[in-house]
Structure 1
Amino acid sequence: MASVNYNENDPEIIRRANELVYLMLVREQSKLPTKRPDIMKHVMKERKTSFSSVVDVANKKLQDTFGIEIVEIGEGSKKAFVLRNKLEKVLVPGHDESKRALLTIILTLIFMSGNELQDGAFWNSLRKLGIEPGEKHPEFGDVKKLIMTEFQRQMYLEVTRTPNSDPPQYTIKWGPRAHLEVTKLNLLEFVNEIYGKTDPSVWKSQYQDATE
């Protein structure tokens, strides 16, 4: 979303843009995407015709002040606005260290498995790391809720039920926010460190995926 020159003589636009900046920053603390209905309810209220102008002005303020920008991700009813850091690239920004590490591991597992994992294989992989979905983890608490609810609500993961599966089975993929914030080459470097390798191209299919 490009920066724009906005009309500083329109105090109503400026006021609502300031409210949107506040809303986005507050929701970013919990990594919650902000959907259009959220903005309509908390910011626009009765003034609905200037939505685009308010978003553009808020975006410019965020870029000029914090070096972050508003980006729209997702499709259809799942579209939402999130903040992206323009000045620094990290694996998964914004989380506390423990959640950040877990999410990075999960995204790496999915990426290295061909960009999707069935839930059975997914949980088996985490069990090897001492993480049981049915047990309370001393660091993460209810791990299954954290992964399947919080990370999915934050749009880092996308979980879909396999059609006609009985008992129900699910496919776990990267969500749109992961694609926005995470660099696959960085993940390959992370994997290289684990296996003591120096050249990420040894992972041929993943390297091709990361460099396309």
Structure 2
Amino acid sequence: FPPPERSPRAQNPVDAQVPVTEKETITSSLSPLIQGTPKVVPAAGKPSVCQSSQGVCSSPSTIKGAPLKGPSTSQAPPDPDSLLSEVLNQKVAELVQFLSVKYVTKKPTMAAEMLQSVIREHKGHFPVIFKKACECMEVVFGIEVKEVDPVNHSYELVKILNLTYDGMLSNEQGMPKTGLLILILGVIFMEGNCAPEEKIWDMLNKIGVFAGKKDFIYGEPRKLITKDLVQEKYLEYRQVPNSDLPRYEFLWGPRAHAETSKMQVLQFLAKVSGTPRAHSLERTF
């Protein structure tokens, strides 16, 4: 698509190959992803629960290890399927916590270790639990659980989309922030390669991230997106020229262009939003 008039950049040849109808479909794929992006909330200072009303990672809002509530004597017994779903969702949250620790400590893991340490008596449901936990790791943290030994089912955790920065401090404090960066890059592209700051904050507010409110994963969000990611050259943050009141906008930074591509970002967003867009996007590009 041609960039908005406010941006002096020339049209990217990749953008020119994307039909308007394709952009509209991609945008519709991105919208439910933003609205349903899961959040991880702390329990005793650790990531423990992946929450979402409609995102790929959904689990109860109780903290890790909290007992499930039993049926009230004045109410009908709960549906067994609902109870099972709640238990499995809690296992997804526990496995996300386990995998995030493995990433922070830079240690691989094996299916046997996950079964013994997390899944335990729910081994029969491991494929479903593992799949949802992997999706949650990708959306929330931007981390892929990659199988490196199919025989022994050994996995390592790596940053997705060839990005080399995860926003963690050198002393292993904090949590990876790559997932948020990818969402922002996607919104910038959807806005014609140049997104007004208010559009970015509208997206962040929908996933419970607010300026001035410290977030467990992302720290102080305004500092992260207007300073840290700008300093790392993943984003450009500039004042809109000729505006009556001071307004700002975001663009892809040179490091984002060098390490990934719009096609990769859109394929990822389509994948995690649950829509079959990857193959059609690949044909488009």
TM-score by length of 2: 0.38
With normalisation by structure 1, the TM-score equals: 0.50
